Amino acid sequence: MSLSKSELKAACKLLLDDFEGVLSWKWDGGGKMLTAQFSTEGQEQVGVILERHLGKKWDRKTISTAPDPIKDGDFGDLRSDQLLFTTDLEGNIRIIAAWWPWGDGQTITVRLTSSDNDSAAPVKTGFLTKLKNVFGL
């Protein structure tokens, strides 16, 4: 279950405070997440802040070693240059930051969302998963 906008902001207060003046967050109500876009020039600073607050960093090569709720979730299908930052699986809430380069070499989007740890491994529901299911892949 994803948190509401106010709940997510409260759960990520220290993280969002560190991004003050660095990123400008917008609420995506459909995806129930905060999103921010930034230039690749800021990727080192943004990456350091995410890793400091969330603790776990996954890429295409390491995602297979992630706990099942992470690698089997909607963000577990990482492509080249995509990253996933997550909190530990301890506690009731898992914070997830998806790092998505645009492919133009200039822009990156970070999507900040949550899920609870009480549920079983999330079922993938994204477009590619639905397409794979249609074709039995």
pLDDT tens sequence across 41-70? 999 999 999 999 999 999 999 999 888 888
- Cα–chain center distance at 18: 17
pLDDT tens sequence across 106-137? 999 999 998 754 444 444 455 455 445 544 54
DSSP 8: H
Three-state secondary-structure class, residue 44: helix
pTM: 0.80
> How far is Cα 58 from Cα 9, in angstroms, rounded to an integer?
23
Domain spans of the chain? Answer: 5-134
